[in-house]
Amino acid sequence: MSGGTFTDAAIRRNPAWIQLLGLCPLLAVSNSLVNATGLALASGFVMVGSALAISTLRAWIPNRVRLPCFVLVIATFTTLSVLLLEAYAFELYLRVALFVQIIVSNCMILGRIEAFASRQPPWRACLDALGTAAGFAIALIGLGGVREALGQGTLLAGMEHLFGPGAAAWRINLGFDSAPFLMALLPPGAFLIAGLLLGLGNGLRNRLSPKPSLRTDFDEHGKTNPDIREAES
């Protein structure tokens, strides 16, 4: 039951790859593993903190002004994570600053809070938030790894900015003489590699479960909605 909440949120409803939420930070900071890990941790902190706070306070939040309340709570936790990063990982903060601040307008977080945390007891809300955060982290770190390996020929480079000087030794050289595919680090590479990975994932899923595939479409909220084509035509 509780494990189901977690894996459901992390894998089957993976916020980034299945629902395509939070694309801005996903594409922007996935140019290296250290940036990706830093933003995944910050987003996770905001997601879990605000889900816990809102689910604890849900009885006192008036229904009519609930969305402004949610946004304020999320903004508070975002500010906290900005201050924490500034204090303990300033080098990293300088690289991902804008996207840490923009966590507040990440529709993944507001979406999960509106759909789940505001209606459930704290421990379930916390599990769901952890699952969503883990799913986002998997997507972010996966894309970050592929882009760093292709663009720089390394893995885990610069981890000392996040985990202290000891982590400098984690750097793995993949044995290329120069950057194998520099474009992976540039903006076009983010879109192209994300698109190719998503297509690959769709192909694998079609292969594994030969049901008619669910075509990913979006409504205005960026949520997937397989019926939207019928509705529009």
Partner 1 sequence: MADLALILVGALLVNNFVLAQFLGLCPFMGVTKSFAPALAMGLATTFVLTLAAIACHLIHHALLVPLGLEWLRIIVFIVVIASVVQFTELYLRSASPLLHQSLGLYLPLITTNCAVLGVALLVAGEGLSLPGTIVFAIGAAAGFSLVMMMFSAIRERLEGADLPQAFAGAPIALVTAGLMSLGFLGFVGLD
CB of 128 to partner 1, least distance (A): 20
CB of 173 to partner 1, least distance (A): 27
CB of 229 to partner 1, least distance (A): 9
Q: Which residue has the tokens 């520099």?
A: 182
Q: Which residue has the tokens 């909220």?
A: 221
CA distance 135 to 9: 7
Contact between 109 and 54 under an 8 Å Cβ cutoff? The reply is: no
Cβ proximity to partner 1: between 111 and 126 the closer is 111
CB of 3 to partner 1, least distance (A): 29
Cβ proximity to partner 1: between 127 and 193 the closer is 193
- Binding residues (CB under 8 A) for partner 1: these are 20-21, 23-25, 27-28, 68, 71-72, 75-76, 78-79, 82-83, 97-98, 101-102, 104-107, 110, 183, 186-192, 194-196, 198-200, 202-203, 206, 213, 215-222, 232
Give the number of other Cβ atoms within 10 Å of residue 167's Cβ.
15
Question: Within a 13 Å sphere around the CA of 132, how many CA atoms are in the beta-carbon half?
Answer: 31
Contact between 146 and 197 under an 8 Å Cβ cutoff? The reply is: yes
CA distance 83 to 15: 26
Contact between 101 and 78 under an 8 Å Cβ cutoff? The reply is: yes
CA distance 156 to 32: 8
Closest CA to 136 of 31, 42, 3, 1: 42
CB of 188 to partner 1, least distance (A): 4
CB of 190 to partner 1, least distance (A): 7
- Outline where DSSP puts E strands in the chain: 154-155, 172-173
